[in-house]
Structure 1
Amino acid sequence: MNKNKEIKNIGKLIFLHLFPGIALSIMYIFFSKVGILAGYPRVIILGFSIIFSTIPIELGYLFYVSKKEEGTFNIFIILGLKGKLKAKVFILYFLLSIIIGGILLIAVKPLENYLLKTVFSWIPSWYNFDQDLSLFSKNYIIIAILVSFFIFTLIAPIIEELYFRGFLLPRMKWMGKYSVLFNVILFSVYHFYSPWTIITKIAMMLPLCYFIYRKDSLKLGILVHCLGQFTMVVSYMTLLL
């Protein structure tokens, strides 16, 4: 990454990390209140909100920067972390990311539940997209599975990794070893629709992003992020058994 293209304005970095998440929360609140998808599981409303917020904002900004800097809409030209790992090394760090992330998730999950019941107890129940889908009909569950697979497992994670790790992280190299920590913290806070999960996300994402940064592999981040989200799909599919 050309040092002239690094983003050294802290305020701009914070804005670029958090604005898409703020927009998502606004859209989520809007769609929840206007009742467009009244009666549907809240995860579907959240997925619908993502389509009209983070996806166009993050992709749009990548297209804008690509056109401005390179004169083309090929966003992959402006991305960093495009190193190639040998298959054995890739698999090793993929497994390490999954195992370490899983262990940290189990360890921190009780704290997440505690924060939801105490620090964030003031948040209305309708704002929490995590519901017991067994209370819904089979048709609603199938729709939730489709939304979870295409939006939460494929589209959103891929675009987030392109934006946060492929674009923003390489432009923060001037921060040295703190760039990964800063990126992970802001990415976790960016999930304004579930603030009680911030610490959990930091714990899970920090090892992965460290591996991504050290091994210069955006593909590693995309694969692990997508697989992690796929657990949501699996949990919903079990309700159809």
Structure 2
Amino acid sequence: MHVEKPITIDSMKSRDLSLSKVMILIFVPATVLTAAYWAIGHLQKIIPSLLLFFLLAAIILFPAELAIILFAGKKEFGRYSLKSALVNQKKPKAARTLLIGVMLFGLAGILSIVVKPLESLLTSPISGKLGAVLPAYFDWTNFELLRQYPKNMVLWTCIGYGVFNVFVGPVVEELFFRGYLTSKISRFGRRAPIIMTVLFSLYHLWLPFQNLFRISAFLPAAYMAWKENNISIAIVFHCLCNLVSTVSFILVLYSV
């Protein structure tokens, strides 16, 4: 009978990946998604851009990230599983996990008051010029354009936004970044969550002008998830952040 060896710090380091390979795993799927979104968005305007993006993410990005984890599980543990994303994870205590997640969410709210205006000020010269040349179709804040679509299409956009932005996206991304990839750079110690937070932010190629806020908001959650060996903290935090942004989007969309 095969007895699985316990996972130690040394064995984790032996499973580490080079930063170049980590970056390939992160940016290849993200680049393919962004390119497909850009190309298809130019070819058609039947589907709203936000709905198109999440449909493509459901077809390209999230399956790719899950496949990487599953194949790693097969390679390392002999069967397709999410185990590579859950190495040395402690069984989460629901109340503590929720409390920490909510506190981190509150901290992110405070940071948004300070960091977002600063980032907007710093990036406005570039984002303004880019916004002037990009088709209005790709502007997710162009509510007037979205309201021109049939009501059922607008409804499906909101449903897709809710499902993929609030639930599917955060869970898959946290398993991939805070779970699998962070464990693959364990040699960096406490710098690992910092490195992964920066890479996580930069991987959002479709939202290039929010990196300062994204890094400052997600770093405390990434560090706590790493320190506590509990990615559920990061999942709760991520879901809460995206829930607020999604609800805000829908309220503004239907405010007229």
**Map 1:89-238 → 2, pairs under 5 A:** 89-123=96-130, 124-126=134-136, 128-133=138-143, 135=145, 136=147, 138-238=151-251
Deviations 1:78-117 (A, max 9, x none): 5235213444432331222111111112211113333453
Q: Tell me the SS of whatever aligns to 1:131.
A: coil
The separation in 2 between residues aligned to 1:99 and 1:81, in whole angstroms, is 28
C-alpha change, 1:73 and 1:85, in structure 2 (3 Å) is closer
C-alpha change, 1:55 and 1:221, in structure 2 (3 Å) is same
Residue 71 of structure 1 deviates from its aligned partner by: 2.0
> Residues 193 and 98 (structure 1 numbering): CA distance in 2 closer, same or farther, change over 3 Å?
same
Paired position in structure 2 for 1:70: 77
Is the deviation greater in 148-157 or in 126-135?
126-135
The letter of the residue matching 2:141 is Q
Quote the residue 2:4 is aligned against.
none
CA RMSD of aligned residues (A): 2.1
Structure 2 residues not aligned, in runs of 5+ = 1-6
Offset at residue 229 of structure 1 (A): 0.9
User: Is the contact between residue 128 and residue 194 of structure 1 (CA under 8 Å) also seen in structure 2?
Assistant: no
Aligned residue-pair number: 238
Which stretch has the larger CA shift, 85-94 or 161-170?
85-94
The answer as to 2:5 corresponding to 1:5 is: no
User: In the superposition, relative to structure 1, how do residues 100 and 81 fare at CA in structure 2: closer, same or farther (>3 Å)?
Assistant: farther
2:32 and 2:225 map into 1 onto residues whose CA distance is 27
TM-score, normalization: structure 2?
A: 0.84
Q: 1:78 to 1:178 in 2, by over 3 A?
A: closer
Q: 1:58 aligns with which of 53, 65, 69?
A: 65
Instruction: State the TM-score, normalized to the length of structure 1.
Output: 0.89
Structure 2 CA distance for aligned equivalents of residues 129 and 181 of structure 1: 30
Shift of 1:164: 0.6
Whole-angstrom distance in 2 between the partners of 1:86 and 1:29: 42
Letter aligned with residue 98 of structure 1: F
CA distance in structure 2 between the aligned counterparts of 1:140 and 1:112, rounded to whole angstroms: 33
Residues 167-176 or 107-116, more deviating: 107-116
